[in-house]
Structures are given as structure tokens and as C-alpha cells.
Amino acid sequence: MTPAMRILLINPNTSASISERMAVPARAALLPGEHLATCTASQGPAVIQSPEQARQAAQTVLQLAQAHGGAHDALIVGMSLDSGLRITRDAMRPRPVIGMTEAACLVACLQGERFGVLTLGQDMVPLYAAHIAELGLAGRLIGVAAAQWPDDFDPAEMGVQVSLLQALAQAAQPLLQQGASSVVLAGAVLCGYGPALAERLGQPVLEGTACAVGLARCCIRQRRPPQGSSA
């Protein structure tokens, strides 16, 4: 029997509530017998909100992966800018290391010719556009849209907050009008909003940690010898 897949979701900030928020759609994507664990940084910012913090997070991701990743079959970078993805992937080979936004964008490419990215805060727009270009997917990107933070939005509150859902739905409209076949949610605090937003928009909305679980499963199955193989 093929061993059950074990995944570690790494959160390079110190917010346990955000770790749990990211874990909810990831767990929903697990098959019976598969396991997901989370790992949260013990020091640093509670929420990563600047390029400098993102650069620091890259080292945190690597350190947490090296300290805790050995007991797992695959690792997910639980930060929407995928900070530390390349250095962690190189350090942890042959174990798959998958970025949450990387995963959602790759799945989006399978659902249509062009996709849009939806985030929070206009200051994040150029950062995500640059990241998509680094992934080699700029030609598939319609654009990056940003909702404004609602005054009553609490990132630590679980569930879907109506004010943010409305803001996201409004911000996504230009992406759909320009021809996006799907929308990638970029932002750890947005995990869990995918199903409700997809219902409002009438188009697929992709959550990074859920997509990463599916890609991790594919990578692991490619690495393992088939059942009955003598390899």
C-alpha cells in the first residue's frame, strides 16, 4: 500500500490564526488518510506587509523547512508572495516545495487562457505582478486587482466577513470583464473566501493552499515507484 501523504504548511509570520485560515482549504483538499500539519514562526511580524518583511520571511521559510520538514513528504510555502520558494526548494530536494500562489496560478493556466489575481491593498499590486513574471506566467496574466481593506475587517477572525467579500467581488469585476477565465486569490488572510466569492462571480476562484495540496500529491506520486514495482 502506498504510504499516506504528509504535508507541512509553513507560515513565516507569527499569527497562528492565519496558519489556521490557510489550513482550512488545504485540509478540504486532502484525500482520506492524508495529513496536513502547520508550522508557524515564533518571531517576526504577525502579518507580512512590506517588501523588507517579505525578504526576511524567505529566510524564515528556509529555517522552518530545515527544522521541521524532514518528517513530511511535501512542503507548502504559506505566504502569498511565495518568499523563500527557490532557496527552500533547492535545500529540500527531492522533497517537493510548492508556493501557494505559484500553485494557484499553475492551476489557473489549466482552466483557461488568461487569469486574474485578486489581493488586498494597492501597494501589493506591483509585487504580485513581479512575482507572476518571475514564475514565467506574465503572458497568461490579465492583471492584478486589489480590494481595499474594509474598516471592520479583522484578519484574525475566522469565517467569511461580508464587508470583505463585497469588496473582493467588486474589485474582481474588471478582471472578468477583460476576459479572465479564473481568479487567483493572493493573500493568506483571504484563504476561505474562495467558495463564496466564486458563487458571487460565477467563475472559478482558486485558493493557493488547496491548489498546492493537489500539486503536492501529483509530485509525490511521480517520485514514488508504482505499487508492485521492484525499484
The least confident of 76-90, 155-169, 204-218 is 155-169
Kindly report, residue by residue over 141-160, the tens digit of the pLDDT. 999 999 998 888 777 778 89
**What is the C-alpha to C-alpha distance for residues 158 and 20, in angstroms, rounded to an integer?**
9
Residue closest to 64 by CA, chosen among 137, 11, 117: 11
Residue 176 pLDDT greater than 70, yes or no? yes
Q: CA triplet 121, 124, 126: central angle to 5 degrees?
A: 135
Q: Do residues 116 and 203 make contact, with C-beta atoms less than 8 angstroms apart?
A: no
Please tell me the predicted confidence (pLDDT) of residue 228: 55
Average pLDDT score over residue span 202-208: 98
Please tell me the predicted confidence (pLDDT) of residue 225: 57
Please tell me the predicted confidence (pLDDT) of residue 75: 99
Kindly report, residue by residue over 185-194, the tens digit of the pLDDT. 999 999 999 9
- Domains in the chain: ranges and CATH: 6-101+210-223 (3.40.50.12500), 112-207 (3.40.50.1860)
Q: What is the pTM of this model?
A: 0.93
Please tell me the predicted confidence (pLDDT) of residue 226: 56
Q: Do residues 117 and 196 make contact, with C-beta atoms less than 8 angstroms apart?
A: no
